[in-house]
Structure 1
Amino acid sequence: MKTLLLAVFAALLMTSLASAQPITVQDVLQSQRALIEKSSRRTIGPAIDALVQSGLPQMQNVLEQWQAKNMWQRASDGHFYAATKNADGTYALLDLQDNTLVGNFASSDLKQLKPNSGVRAMIATALVQFQLSDPDVTKRSSALDSISRDPEVALLAPLRASIASETEPDILSRKTRLERLMTMAYDTDVPARVAAINAMAGDLGVDFRATLNPILSTKRIVTKAGTPPIANIAQELQIGSDALTRSDAYGLLVAAGDAPVEITHDARDAALENNVEGGRIAGISVGQLSTEAMRDKAYDGLVSAGKAPPRVTPSDIDASLAEYRFFEVFDEPSAAVTDAAQAALAKSETRVAISQAADLGLDALSLASIYFLAAIGLAITFGVMGVINMAHGEFIMMGAYTGYVVQLFITNHTASIIIAVPLAFVVTFAAGVALERLVVRWLFHRPLETLLATFGVSIALQQLAKNVFGTQARPLTAPAWLDGAWMINDVVSISYIRIAIFILALLFLGLFLFIMKRTRLGLETRAVTQNPKMAASMGINPDRVNMLTFGLGSGIAGIAGVAIGLFAKVTSEMGSDYIVQSFMTVVVGGVGNIWGTLAGAAMIGGFQKSVEWLNPSNTLAAQTYMILFIIIFIQFRPRGIIALKGRAAGD
């Protein structure tokens, strides 16, 4: 007997010691072996949950190996391992507990687990909980991306737990934001949800507004008059208002089973057709059913015979509607949450509207900079000299093609642009001087002949560009540091290229003012513009001044072409896209005044962007309205925004 008691005690002791041993990775895997072997998306969930809930730190590696299709099962005992392929074709099995080598085995002794895409997606979701605190910043970032794409209430707790130990500022900011968004959507604690909403009130992020929208989603319900609904009421709907028509209200009663279905004419006629017996319906000959009244009578006969539901009269509808009240209620049961969400969304929408206005202003400023760059050269040739140069757009095109040719030989885009800008000025300056010497100088004070002659030159230059470069658009690549955009917030942004063009426009404004106000050429140009004969009597050569002035305007157009070519297509017709706007800019601003050109560019750019904002799907309408606006504007202010004063204004 004593021996038996000792044996029992020993068995119990061994069992106790065995149960005290820690659970291993293999223990958990074997407990879920059947589900893992099957690897079906419909049944694998409990197995993945068991691995995650085991609390073993090695489970992150297990899930990663499984997801990467690198988990193998040994045929002899069904145990799971990671594996690497040897040079001789065998596989080295690695223990998933401590990554030690178990041994080398032939592929015939092993079975590779190949989870399908659905199972891998579920594994990826489970991995997020481990990756949120992974030492690798990339994995933590990927985990946040995964949660953002597919948020789940189960991920809220591990996300919160990972915030305290986060050391990377950007990742911490993302975690904090995501935790607040998930708290709004999934937390059961109402004060916590309200606090999260209030903390982000006025936020411009699309994700914030997208999180609030489900909270503020509503549905319509019907209650008996005098019985308020037990729900979070958004508003009571009045029958006959835009929010609830009489027909919609009765439809709600029908859907709730509180009123019979209204019999339409189509439903009535269908019932009549289904009850034709011997050429008669309810005792009425089919031939007599040519009027609505007779059809109603026949249908009423079917109702009396119990073959059709009764018709609902307008008075019946009114009586039914009078017995009920109609409400729009929130799907969210907590009024505190919906009140906070409404206030936060209203604040956000106000900030969005302000930001959209600022974004529109930046777009208008950017477009005005482009128009100013395109028109500043024309402000010299047309505004100062009075020459209508229809080939001005082709000088812009020549500058853009100059930049393209430079990039063919200089692959560094920054260096190529630095070289292309002065080279474009030289090329188009020479072309402008040639045009002035060969054509324009012989047609001074003959505007119609000048217009026709330069228009012919414009066509010739376009055809020459087609012969040399072809008809397809050519790339003019901006330097890498001009890629992307300056994101002021989630609504307002402007590309770095547009910023560069704006700065370039300011530089040219300063350069032009310096030339005209501080240099001998500028002094002589102003003298010739105001009184050519008096300037000639003072020793100034008007012919030479006109040549240099025309060349300067053409050279500036070439530089504008390089800038415009960085974001617009470089083709032989690109100049025609800007010639009309350039002339309008100069005319509206005030002929012969650089400040007027700047004001004209701002007005035209702002007006065009405003019209595009009101009608974003039709840019042609914006162009049309802009031309009409300019025609009307010139009727009231024919000399432009800033008109010349003095003797030059009367010439």
Structure 2
Amino acid sequence: MTRLLTAGLALLWMTLGALAQDAAAPMQAILQQHAQTIVKSSRKTIEPAIAAVDGSGLAQAQDVLEAWQSKDMWQRQSDGLFFRADEGESGTYRLTDFDTGEIIGEADKSDLRQIKPNSGIRALLGAALVRFQLTDPDPAKRQEALAAIERTPEAAALAPLRASIGDEPDAAIKAKKQRLERLLTISSDTDPLARVAAIEEMSGDLGVDLRAALNPLVATRLEIAQGDFPAGLNIARELRIGPDISIDAAYDHLVAARLAPARGSSDATKSILAANIEEGRVGGIPLANLVSEEARTRAYAALVDAGRAPAIPGDDDIARAVAAHRFAEVYADPSAQVTAAAVESLTRIETLVGLNQSVDLMLDAISLASIYFLAAIGLAITFGVMGVINMAHGEFIMMGAYTGFVVQQIIPNHTVSILVAIPLAFAVTFAAGVAMERLVIRWLYNRPLETLLATFGISIALQQLAKNIFGTQARPLTAPAWLDGAWVVNDIISISLIRIAIFVLALLFLGLFLYIMRGTRLGLETRAVTQNRRMAGSMGINPERVNMLTFGLGSGIAGIAGVAIGLFSKVTSELGSDYIVQSFMTVVVGGVGNIWGTLAGATMIGFLQKGIEWLNPANTLAAQTYMIIFIIIFIQFRPRGIVALKGRAAGD
């Protein structure tokens, strides 16, 4: 009797102790309640355990979920309790109690079992942690939570996301939360009116994420019915046989839905005939006679009559089966209000996307036109003003780009190196142009064919010289950090900062050229020599000096263009040959001898090329071909170019 009383008191004491422990350690109690599930770590059964921790309302829930996700949660095998464990210096593990946050002691690894959640469980833990991370004091963690919602938008994140918006101190993060809340409302809210309001609020937004949220709402599936369609279907449209769906396609849908027998194929028929061979016959017909289609048809019909093969539907059977059914496209979303709002919003967005794509195409065309203008402005001087066909003009562009590369090898600061490279490229190519004019061009004035052949030979020689010095590998010309990235208006319209800089540089050179030609002595003398060489000479102007300086100026500007072009293009010995044809076309189409014509020609060619590439984006070579054909036709009707010279210069 005494022993029974002692055992009963001990059991009562242990029960009271366990109850006291549960009261003092509520998180540990939850973990113990789901201990087997946690240790098993199965993706299929773990959700109740995660939900119990997440929904406990305890302050320790976040710490437990984070430790669990990072594989820092361990179970002590001696008593089955769970702790956060960190390896100590002596090889033992320090145990931190989840409820108190205090270190309660150490344990050998042999007495511990690490909880190792797989990737699926870690994803579930991450989703549960979002609620805590959305209000975390650390902005980085709040950003991480929003990124997690963007990756896997789930309905469960909507409520905590809404609750966190009001107290968000960071304006940028708050705006991102509000946008995500609207997107989740569209895709996951149970109230159709709230979803419609969110769709209307964001209607006109060009973000890809909005279109990704709206597109599933207007997705449809095919529904087949005999008679009336079931009530509650959100029908997009009923399909009419003929205008909307062919009779063959409709019957194929019936077969797929097992509402009609499959059509017989040649292979299927042969398989059934082979399976019913009996004593050298099929359907009473000898095998030797089955070489003809007619015999096989009779044999198959005999098998059908005997119930040993399915009947092959004929055209009349197919028509009757299709006529007995109705076909409709049904929205996946059950709410007609939501799908109507989504369709209207997507229609508006499609219109805006088209308009913005047009603007983006125009910006690309302007950018390309500025590049062509910058490459051609030097040629407008040497060819347009002086009348010299310089086939080596592209190589001056290449020399300018390589000058920028060499400067960057010496000056590592990209901003400083570009600022140094621009005047240095001008000086190098100016000197090269002067040398070329003095040594070659001066002897070939008014002899265009000889000039073309001579400069073409110089072009080949300069390319080979560049290969010998720099090799055939493309050399990098790195833009300054402040030119990285792009000017982004929205998800459709954007243009790189380098191209904007080239556009500004082209405008500066347009102003510089106009100033030189109209506001300096060199410009006055150049125009005088161009219009009447003998009269200019009699007025004390040295025509040879003017020609030398003018040719050097055009070559120097080409060098600066090479630095600009090299910032976004590969710097190779063939760099100039990529732009020489466009440069000549720009000058000729715009009007020889007129800077405004060069600008007009560059604009026309830039827009024309981008337009052709938009119509045929898969073949840029075809775009170049079509552009050249168009320009040839254009010159037939306007041989003097867009802006033709007037007066005596035009006659010359």
TM tier, smaller: over 0.9
2:420 corresponds in structure 1 to 419
Distance 1:303-1:37 versus aligned 2 partners, 3 A rule: closer
- Structure 1, gaps ≥5 residues long: 1-6
Name the SS for the 1:621 alignment partner.
helix
What SS does the corresponding residue of 2:473 show, helix, strand or coil?
coil
What residue number does 2:197 align with? Answer: 195
Q: 83-92 or 530-539, which moves further after superposition?
A: 83-92
Distance in structure 1 (CA, Å) of the matches to 2:475 and 2:291: 72
Structure 1 position 300, deviation (Å): 2.0
User: Hey, what does 1:410 align to over in structure 2?
Assistant: 411
- Report the alpha carbon displacement of residue 161 of structure 1 after superposing the two structures with TM: 1.1
SS of equivalent to 2:326: strand
Supply the distance in 2 between the matched residues of 1:261 and 1:16 (Cα, whole angstroms): 68
Question: In 1, are the aligned partners of 2:597 and 2:641 still within 8 Å (CA)?
Answer: yes
Could you give the per-residue CA deviations for residues 589-619 of structure 1, whole angstroms, max 9, x where no partner exists? 1111111111111111111111211222221
Displacement of 1:106 after TM fit? Answer: 4.3
Q: Which residue does the alignment assign to 1:440?
A: 441
TM-fit CA distance, 1:27: 2.3
Q: Distance in 1 between matches of 2:72 and 2:367?
A: 54
Aligned to 1:249: 250
Paired position in structure 1 for 2:3: none
Determine the structure 2 residue equivalent to 1:163: 165
Q: 1:145 to 1:290 in 2, by over 3 A?
A: same
- Measured after TM superposition, the shift of residue 118 of structure 1 is 3.1
CA distance in 1 between partners of 2:136 and 2:477 (Å)? 44
More displaced stretch, 441-450 vs 260-269: 260-269
Residue 60 in structure 1 maps to residue 66 in structure 2 = no
Give the Å deviation of 1:173: 1.4
Structure 2 CA distance for aligned equivalents of residues 56 and 21 of structure 1: 13
- Using structure 1 for the length normalisation, give the TM-score: 0.94
**Are 1:530 and 2:534 an aligned pair?**
no
Q: CA 1:72–1:224 in structure 2 vs 1: closer, same or farther (change >3 Å)? A: closer
Q: Is the 8 A contact 2:586 2:605 kept in 1?
A: yes
Distance 1:35 1:226, change over 3 A: closer
Distance (whole Å) between structure 2 residues aligned to residue 302 and residue 88 of structure 1: 84
Choose 621-630 or 417-426, whichever is displaced more: 621-630
Q: Give 1:598's aligned residue.
A: 599
Which residue of 2 is the match for residue 299 of structure 1?
Answer: 300
**Aligned CA distance change for structure 1 residues 595 and 178 (closer, same or farther; 3 Å):** same
Q: TM-score, normalised by structure 2?
A: 0.94
**For 2:74, what is the secondary structure of its paired residue?**
strand
Query: What residue in structure 2 maps to residue 92 of structure 1?
Result: 94
8 Å Cα contact 2:22/2:29 also seen in 1: no
Structure 1 residues 46-55 or 102-111, which shifts more? 102-111
CA gap 1:193/1:15 in 2 versus in 1, 3 angstroms: farther
Task: Spell out, residue by residue over 1:509-544, the C-alpha distance to the aligned partner (whole angstroms, 9 max, x if none).
Answer: 111111111111111111111111121122111111
- In the TM superposition, residue 147 of structure 1 has moved relative to its aligned partner by 0.9
Asked if the contact 2:423/2:560 (under 8 Å) is kept, the reply is yes
Aligned position for 1:82: 84
1:139-154 matched pairs, under 5 angstroms: 139-154=141-156
Q: 1:227 to 1:173 in 2, by over 3 A?
A: closer
**Quick one: distance in 2 between partners of 1:107 and 1:313?**
75
The CA RMSD over aligned residues, in Å, is 2.3
- In the TM superposition, residue 71 of structure 1 has moved relative to its aligned partner by 2.6
> What is the CA deviation profile of residues 65-97 of structure 1, one whole-angstrom value per residue up to 9, with x for unaligned ones?
222232333344333333444444444333323
> Which has the larger displacement, 449-458 or 269-278?
269-278
* Contact kept in structure 2, 1:590 and 1:640, CA below 8 Å: yes
2:4 is matched with which residue?
none
C-alpha separation in 2, matches of 1:461 and 1:63: 68
- For structure 2, list consecutive stretches of 5 or more residues without a partner in the other structure: 1-8
CA separation of 1:111 and 1:21: change in aligned 2, threshold 3 A: closer
2:177 aligns with 175
Judged with a 3 Å threshold, the aligned counterparts in structure 2 of structure 1 residues 289 and 95 are, in CA distance, closer, same or farther, namely closer
Cα distance in 1 between the residues matched to 2:232 and 2:105 = 67
Match of 1:584 in 2: 585
Taking the TM superposition and a 5 Å limit, the aligned residue runs for 1:478-557 are 478-557=479-558
What displacement does 1:44 show? 2.4
Q: Deviations over 1:331-388 (max 9, x none)?
A: 1111111100100110111111111111111111111111111111111111111111
Cα offset, 1:432, TM superposition: 0.5
Q: Alpha-carbon deviation of 1:290?
A: 5.1
Which of 19, 41, 66 is matched with 2:43 structurally? 41
Question: 1:116: which partner in 2?
Answer: 118
Distance in 1, Cα, partners of 2:306 & 2:36: 64
C-alpha distance 85-283 of structure 1, shift in aligned 2 (>3 A): closer
Q: Do the aligned residues in 1 keep the contact of 2:517 with 2:527 (CA within 8 Å)?
A: yes
Would the aligned equivalents of 1:202 and 1:349 in 2 still touch at CA under 8 Å? no
Between stretches 251-260 and 531-540, larger displacement belongs to: 251-260
Contact 2:232 2:334 in 1 (8 A): no
The answer to whether the 8 Å contact 2:517/2:524 transfers is yes
Structure 1 position 178, deviation (Å): 1.1
User: Does residue 130 of the first structure (1) align with residue 132 of the second (2)?
Assistant: yes
Hey, what does 1:209 align to over in structure 2? 211
The aligned amino acid for 1:557 is A
Distance 2:117 2:564 in 1: 53
Residues 95-132 of structure 1 deviation map (CA, whole Å, 9 limit, x = unaligned):
32343232344444444433333332222222111101
Could you say which residue in structure 2 is the equivalent of 1:396? 397
Question: Aligned partners of 1:185, 1:205: CA distance in 2, in Å?
Answer: 15
> 1:41, 1:341 → 2: CA distance?
35
Q: Give the Cα–Cα distance (whole angstroms) in 2 for the partners of residues 180 and 262 of structure 1.
A: 49
- Following superposition, the deviation at residue 16 of structure 1 comes to 14
* Alignment-derived partner of residue 639 in structure 1: 640
Q: CA deviation at 1:15?
A: 10
SS at match of 2:403: helix
Aligned AA (1:303) = V
Partner of 2:613: 612
Which whole-Å deviations, capped at 9, do the CAs of 1:417-469 have from their partners, x for residues lacking one?
Answer: 11111111001100110110111111111111111111111111111111111
Whole-Å separation in 1 of the counterparts to 2:228 and 2:51: 50
Distance 1:74 1:261, change over 3 A: closer
CA distance in structure 1 between the aligned counterparts of 2:631 and 2:308, rounded to whole angstroms: 72
Q: CA–CA distance in 2 between the matches of 1:265 and 1:316?
A: 19
- Residues 34 and 319 of structure 1: is their aligned pair in 2 closer, same or farther, counting only changes over 3 Å? closer
Deviations 1:550-596 (A, max 9, x none): 00010000001111111111111111111111111111111111111
Residues 229/529 of structure 1: CA separation in 2 closer, same or farther (3 Å cut): farther
Which AA in structure 2 matches 1:507? L
State whether residues 22 and 28 of structure 2, in contact with CA within 8 Å, keep that contact through their aligned partners in structure 1: no
1:149-179 CA deviation, whole Å, 9 max, x = no partner? 1122211111111111112111111111111
| Alpha-carbon distance between aligned partners in 1 of 2:442 and 2:324, rounded to the nearest angstrom | 91
Q: Residue 238 of structure 1: which of 240, 253, 257 is its match?
A: 240
Does structure 2 conserve the Cα–Cα contact (< 8 Å) formed by 1:223 and 1:229?
no
Q: More displaced, 604-613 or 423-432?
A: 604-613
What's the % identity of the aligned pairs?
65
- Residue 228 (structure 1) shift: 7.3
- Letter matched to residue 186 of structure 1: S
Which amino acid is the alignment partner of residue 443 of structure 1?
A: L
Distance 1:384 1:373 in 2: 16
- Which stretch shifts more, 232-241 or 342-351? 232-241
**Contact in 1 for aligned 2:590/2:643 (Cα 8 Å):** yes
Residue type matched to 2:425 in 1?
A: A
**Aligned-partner residue type, residue 78 of structure 1:** G
CA contact (8 A) 2:41 2:117 kept: yes
Equivalent position of 2:316 in the other structure: 315
Cα distance in 2, alignment partners of residues 463 and 589 from structure 1 = 32
SS of 1:329 mapped into structure 2: strand
Partner of 1:430: 431
Which amino acid counterpart does residue 304 of structure 2 have in structure 1?
V
Question: Do the aligned partners of residues 81 and 304 (structure 1) sit closer, same or farther apart at CA in structure 2, a change above 3 Å counting?
Answer: closer
Paired with 1:390 and 1:310, the residues of 2 have a C-alpha distance of 78
